[in-house]
A and B are shown apart, each in its own frame.
Chain A
Amino acid sequence: SAVISQKPSRDICQRGTSLTIQCQVDSQVTMMFWYRQQPGQSLTLIATANQGSEATYESGFVIDKFPISRPNLTFSTLTVSNMSPEDSSIYLCSARGSGRTEAFFGQGTRLTVV
């Protein structure tokens, strides 16, 4: 299984600022994903991070608010821009290798916006 390192593990941010979350996988993977998990809720997919091209966003999520980069097959970043208290959530990075059935997850970033 892939080992996914995500940082920071938690942060408290002021409203109006931005936070960039990093996701590093210990092996090359085909697919990388970013999820949001609001308090007490299930996971919602924000976007699929595509290597070398723009991310594919799910309905309700836009690039201006959640810009994503994926410069290579092992690394991706998610930025939460112009934050408001409603952005307080856990953000999780996930990856799936070529030909693999299952996806693996990072340990998540707990974001609190004050």
Chain B
Amino acid sequence: AQTVTQSQPEMSVQEAETVTLSCTYDTSESDYYLFWYKQPPSRQMILVIRQEAYKQQNATENRFSVNFQKAAKSFSLKISDSQLGDAAMYFCAYRSATGTASKLTFGTGTRLQVTL
């Protein structure tokens, strides 16, 4: 079974600075997807960024980018120019690319605080 590990329960960053959230995963599959979701106090899970395992290029969405290291099974999220609205729980998630019914497996989350 696949597992996702987030080793940082909490992180803090100053506004306008850069922070990196760590995520590692364990799988025997070669084709899969990785995601970062954000959950603010409103509870809604918001997709931040996704990465297809077959793509070597790291995904980027505005201020958010990932460092995907397939051999090391590492998938970190970098937030540049942090804003107060970035404060939230961040969950790393894995999904197999095999089968239409494949489900998301989530890590335990990292709580990000943004300070002035």
User: A residues near B, CB below 8 A?
Assistant: 1, 30-31, 33, 41-43, 45, 48, 56, 90, 92, 94, 98, 101-108, 110
Contacts and interface: CB of A to CB of B under 8 A. Distances in A.
A103 B91 CA distance: 13
Nearest to B33: A101
A105 B44 contact: yes
Interface of B: 33, 35, 37, 42-47, 50, 52, 91, 95, 100-101, 103-104, 106-109
Contacts, number: 51
A30 B103 CA distance: 13
B104 A45 contact: yes
Nearest to B109: A42
Given A30-B100, A42-B109, A43-B91, A102 B50 contact: yes
A42 B107 contact: yes
Given A42-B107, A101-B52, A102-B50, A31 B101 contact: yes
B33 A108 contact: no
Nearest to A48: B101
B47 A108 contact: no
A104 B91 CA distance: 14
Contacts of B91: 42-43
A90 B43 contact: yes
B101 A56 contact: yes
A103 B102 CA distance: 11
A56 B33 CA distance: 22
A45 B42 CA distance: 20
B50 to A, nearest CB: 5
Nearest to A4: B44
Given A45-B103, A101-B50, A101-B52, A108 B44 contact: yes
Contacts of B101: 31, 48, 56
B103 A33 contact: yes
Nearest to A41: B108
